[in-house]
Amino acid sequence: MSMFAAAIIGVVVTMAMALLRALMGPTIYDRILAVNTFGTVTVLAISIFGFLMGRPEFLDIALIYALINFAGTIAVLKFLRYGDLGRASAEPDEDI
Amino acid sequence: MEGILNIILLGGMAVTAIAIAKMRNLFVVTMLSGIYSLLSAGIFVLLDAVDVAFTEAAVGAGITTVLFLSTLILVGREAKPRQFRMQAILPFLLVLAVGAGLIFASLDPNMPRFGDPNSPANQRLAPEFLADSVPQVGNEAPTRVGIPNIVTTTLASYRGYDTLGEVVVIFTAGIAVLILLGAARRRREDEELEGPETGAKPEPPKEDSRMADASKEAPGS
């Protein structure tokens, strides 16, 4: 039990640091990375909290969180790269 | 432990909300609102409402981010700088007064404690729902609903028809929006193909030329 408590303290500290980076973060990529990290850490926090409360079925919820987090980040990066979300496969760029 | 986590998550939400109000870069605001939503999902998990937390993460951090981004494509990334106006003082003072009054009213010793099981609001239906959801101590017989989480019981069983109605409404609205947007986009593509040919424009592929022919056959569409 104390192991889970220590783990959740570490996760909360990581959350705070990711939040700070999202608030300060000089470039946009710092903030994107911070949000993505925050999502991952939320997944960890939910699963650890499930074990801490003796209800490991929270793990399923955490798994679905991980999938959603991925989709959001993809949308953000696509917006930055192409300035548009609608195109399924944009025309190939010259520099790739 | 739970109280400390609650305070940390709520504090993070407050910091994020103030930052969202202060920021002028709308892209950063979108990112921060995703974080805000994840923090509130964490609070819902602490409240043992995993279904609500899951919805919050899916809608708040997932779909809303995408919707905000597609709006940003149309309106640009920077908000206009807001200048201070003297007229804004009066509403601010009014809001402060009302908020202070509400906090003062909640300090009344006759008010039930937050989450008090003996408060009048928790006397009528809550014991029945609890008995139907959570197994009684010393009695391992399955309950009527059979879901160990009380929030899931209420949302998925007692409010099942309500949720079904919501889903139907949102699904209908989504289909209507898709039809409207899809029609507008098809018309725009047709007009682009019919427009005057410029040298720089690449030759349209085969399917597109067929679509253009079809639209030429039906003028006024």
Q: Tell how far CA B199 is from the center of its chain.
A: 47
Establish if A56 touches chain B: CB-CB under 8 angstroms. Answer: no
More confident residue, B21 or B100: B100
**Taking the domains of chain B in order of start, what are their residue ranges?**
1-80, 116-151, 159-196+205-221
Q: Measuring CA to CA, which residue among A35, A72, A68, A38 is closest to residue B68?
A: A72
Q: What is the pLDDT of residue B172?
A: 95
pLDDT in the model for residue B217: 44
* Chain A residues closer than 8 Å to B34 by CB: 35, 38-39, 72
Q: Minimal CA–CA distance to B56: which of B173, B182, B155?
A: B155
Write the DSSP symbol of residue B158.
Answer: I
Determine contact, residues B54/A65, Cβ cutoff 8 Å: yes
Given a cut of 90, whether residue B173 has pLDDT beyond it is yes
Chain B, window 27-56: residues with a beta carbon less than 8 angstroms from a chain A beta carbon: 27-28, 30-32, 34-35, 38, 41-42, 45-46, 50, 53-54
CA distance B28 to B72: 11
Q: Which of A66-80, B6-20, B106-120, B149-163 has the highest mean pLDDT?
A: B6-20
Q: Do A42 and B41 touch (CB under 8 A)?
A: yes
Chain A, residues 21-40, CB within 8 A of chain B, namely 22-23, 28, 31-32, 34-35, 38-39
Q: How close is the nearest chain A Cα to the Cα of B54, in Å?
A: 7
Q: Taking CA atoms, what residue in A is nearest to B45?
A: A46
Mean pLDDT calculated for residue range A44-63: 80
Let me know: does A49 contact B46? Beta carbons within 8 Å: yes
Q: What is the mean pLDDT of residues B175-200?
A: 73
Q: What are the sequence ranges of the domains in chain A?
A: 2-82
B-chain residues near A84 (CB < 8 A): 73
ipTM score assigned to the predicted complex: 0.78
Structural contact between residues B15 and A23, judged by C-beta atoms closer than 8 angstroms: yes
Taking a C-beta distance cutoff of 8 angstroms, is the pair A58, A49 a contact?
yes
Highest mean pLDDT (candidates A31-35, B48-52, B167-171)? B167-171
pLDDT tens, residue by residue, B107-124: 888 888 777 778 887 788
User: What per-residue confidence (pLDDT) applies to B196?
Assistant: 55
pLDDT at site B87:
76
In chain A, residues with a C-beta closer than 8 Å to the C-beta of B69 are 75-76, 79, 85
Nearest to B61 by CA among B88, B30, B85: B30
pLDDT at B141: 65
Q: What tokens appear for B11 in the block?
A: 């504090």
pLDDT of residue A85: 64
* pLDDT, tens digit (0-9, with 9 covering 90-100), for A18-30: 888 888 878 888 8
Q: B1-80 belongs to which CATH class?
A: mainly alpha
| Region of poorest pLDDT, from B90-99, B113-122, B136-145 | B136-145
Question: Coil, strand or helix: which one is B194?
Answer: helix
Q: Is A17 on the interface with B (CB under 8 A)?
A: no
CA distance B45 to B2: 11
Residue B185 half-sphere exposure, CB side, CA atoms within 13 Å?
8
Flag whether the pTM goes above 0.90: no
The partner residue sitting opposite A72, judged by closest CB among B8, B27, B61, is: B61
**Contact call for A75 and B69, based on CB within 8 A:** yes
Q: What is the 3-state secondary structure (H, E, C) of A20-58?
A: HHHHHCCCHHHHHHHHHHHHHHHHHHHHHHHHHCCCCCH
Average pLDDT, chain B: 78
